C-alpha cells in the first residue's frame, strides 16, 4: 500500500505542473514497461497464436496448418499431461504444506533475541541462495544407491539392512524429490513468516497474557489472524513456484523413473525441445499459464492475499 502513493486519495487539479509530472512518470516507467511488453507479453501472445497451429520443427519445410482448438482437444485426452498434472499437484501440495508447518514452527521458535541469531539467519539463507541445479546434484549424490550418505546413515542407525536405490523406485523417487524441495524452500518460508511475526506489536501479547490466555490460544486467536496476510503471500508465491518447477526434476530425475516425476513444465519442455512439437508445446504452455492465473486468482480474490506493491 505504501507503494501506491496518493493516486486515489487526493483528487488533483490538472495544471501544467501535473501534466509535466505525469509525463515524466510515464517516461521513467517506459523502459521497464517496454521490456516487459517485448520479452513477456508479445511472446505470450505468440505462444497463444502458435497453440492454434500444427508446428513441428523436425521438418523444416513441413506445412504448418491452422488447426483451431484441436490442440486443446488433444490436451483433454493426453494421459501424459494428466500424469504431469498429478505429479505437479502432489509436489505442490505436499511441499507447500510441509513448508508452511515447518516454517511456522521455526519462525515461532526463533522469534526472540538469543545468542547466535546471526548464525541461524545466515544458515537459513544458504539453501535459499543455492542454485537449484546444484542442489539437485547434491541430493542425487546424497540419495545415491551405493555410495550415498543417506543410505549410510539409515544403515548405521539400523533402520534398513540393504541400501535403497531411491531414484529408481517411482513411489520413493517422488518423495525424495519433494524432500529436496522442502529442504530448499522451508528456510525462506520461515524467514518470511518471521518478518511477519515481528510486525505484531508486543503489547498485544502482553494484553492477552494479562487476560490469562494460554500460549496455544494466543497463537490461534492473535498470532495467526494477524499473520494471515503474510501467510497468504508466502503461500501464493510458493504454490506458483511449485507449479513452475523445472530445474529440480530435470536434473535430479529427468522426470523418471518412467514419468513418475515429470512435472507439467518438464513435460511441456520436452514437447518443445525433444519432440520439437512447437504447436502442441505452445498449447501446453498456455495451459500452464492458465493454471498460474487460476492459482493467483484464487489466492488474491478468493482468499484475499495482499499483493506486493500492487495495492488493492
Cα 121 versus chain centre, distance: 22
Residue 100 has a CB neighbour count (10 Å cut-off) of 18
To the nearest whole angstrom, how small is the minimum distance from the Cβ of residue 201 to other proteins?
Answer: 10
160 binding other proteins? (CB under 8 A):
no
Q: CA–CA separation, 277 vs 269, rounded Å?
A: 10
168 binding other proteins? (CB under 8 A):
no
298 binding other proteins? (CB under 8 A):
no
Which residues, listed in sequence order, are joined to residue 66 by a DSSP beta bridge? 53
43 binding other proteins? (CB under 8 A):
yes
Q: DSSP per residue over 204-234, as a string? A: HHHHHHHTT--HHHHIIIIIHHHHHHHHHHH
Applying CB under 8 A, among 91, 192, 235, 242 the residue interacting with other proteins is 192
289 binding other proteins? (CB under 8 A):
yes
Applying CB under 8 A, among 168, 209, 294, 298 the residue interacting with other proteins is 209
Number of residues that bind other proteins (CB under 8 A): 121
Can you tell me whether residue 289 is helix, strand or coil?
Answer: helix
Applying CB under 8 A, among 11, 13, 58, 146 the residue interacting with other proteins is 146
Residues 89-128 that bind other proteins (CB under 8 A): 101, 105-106, 108-110, 112-114, 116, 118-127
How many residues in total does the chain contain? 312
294 binding other proteins? (CB under 8 A):
no
268 binding other proteins? (CB under 8 A):
yes
User: By rule CB under 8 A, what string of x and - marks binding of each residue 11-40 to other proteins?
Assistant: -x-----x--xxxxxx-xx-xxx-xx--xx
Applying CB under 8 A, among 78, 237, 238, 249 the residue interacting with other proteins is 237
Of the candidates 67, 42, 40, the one whose C-alpha atom is nearest the C-alpha of residue 56 is 67
Applying CB under 8 A, among 16, 157, 210, 302 the residue interacting with other proteins is 210
Q: DSSP per residue over 28-88, as a string? A: HHHHHHHHHIIIIIHHHHHHHHHTTB--BTTSTT----B-TTHHHHHHHT-HHHHHHHHHH
Residues 247-266 that bind other proteins (CB under 8 A): 247, 250-251, 265
Phi, psi of 307 (to 5 degrees): -105, 140
Using the rule CB under 8 A, give the single segment among 76-84, 92-100, 134-142, 170-178 that binds other proteins: 134-142
Of the candidates 84, 260, 266, 264, the one whose C-alpha atom is nearest the C-alpha of residue 170 is 260
58 binding other proteins? (CB under 8 A):
no
Complex with other proteins: residue 94 or 108, whichever CB lies closer? 108
Give yes or no for a contact between 241 and 295, defined as CB atoms under 8 angstroms apart: no
Using the rule CB under 8 A, give the single segment among 72-80, 92-100, 165-173, 237-245 that binds other proteins: 237-245
Amino acid at each position: 500500500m505504501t507503494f501506491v502513493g496518493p493516486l486515489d486519495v487526493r483528487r488533483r487539479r490538472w495544471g501544467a505542473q501535473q501534466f509535466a509530472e505525469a509525463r515524466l512518470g510515464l517516461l521513467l516507467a517506459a523502459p521497464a514497461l517496454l521490456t516487459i511488453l517485448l520479452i513477456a507479453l508479445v511472446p505470450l501472445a505468440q505462444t497463444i497464436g502458435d497453440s492454434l497451429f500444427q508446428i513441428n520443427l523436425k521438418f523444416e519445410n513441413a506445412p504448418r496448418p491452422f488447426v483451431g482448438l484441436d490442440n486443446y482437444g488433444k490436451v483433454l485426452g493426453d494421459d501424459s499431461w494428466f500424469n504431469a498434472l498429478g505429479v505437479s499437484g502432489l509436489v505442490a501440495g505436499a511441499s507447500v504444506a510441509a513448508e508452511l508447518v515447518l516454517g511456522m514452527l521455526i519462525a515461532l521458535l526463533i522469534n526472540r533475541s538469543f545468542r547466535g541469531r546471526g548464525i541461524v539467519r545466515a544458515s537459513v539463507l544458504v539453501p535459499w541462495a543455492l542454485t537449484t541445479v546444484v542442489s539437485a546434484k547434491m541430493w542425487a549424490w546424497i540419495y545415491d544407491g551405493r555410495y550415498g550418505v543417506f543410505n549410510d546413515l539409515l544403515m548405521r542407525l539400523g533402520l534398513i539392512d540393504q541400501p535403497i536405490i531411491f531414484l529408481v523406485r517411482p513411489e520413493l523417487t517422488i518423495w525424495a524429490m519433494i524432500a529436496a524441495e522442502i529442504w530448499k524452500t522451508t528456510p525462506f518460508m520461515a524467514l518470511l513468516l518471521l518478518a511477519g511475526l515481528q510486525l505484531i506489536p508486543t503489547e498485544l501479547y502482553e494484553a492477552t497474557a494479562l487476560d490469562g490466555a494460554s500460549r496455544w490460544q494466543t497463537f490461534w486467536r492473535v498470532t495467526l489472524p494477524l499473520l494471515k496476510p503474510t501467510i497468504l503471500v508466502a503461500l501464493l508465491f510458493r504454490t506458483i513456484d511449485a507449479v513452475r518447477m523445472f530445474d529440480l526434476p530435470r536434473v535430479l530425475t529427468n522426470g523418471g523413473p518412467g514419468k513418475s516425476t515429470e512435472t507439467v513444465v518438464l513435460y511441456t519442455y520436452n514437447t518443445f525441445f525433444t519432440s520439437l512439437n512447437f504447436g502442441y508445446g505452445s498449447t501446453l504452455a498456455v495451459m500452464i499459464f492458465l493454471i498460474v492465473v487460476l492459482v493467483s486468482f484464487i489466492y488474491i480474490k478468493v482468499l484475499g492475499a495482499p499483493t506486493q506493491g500492487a495495492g488493492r
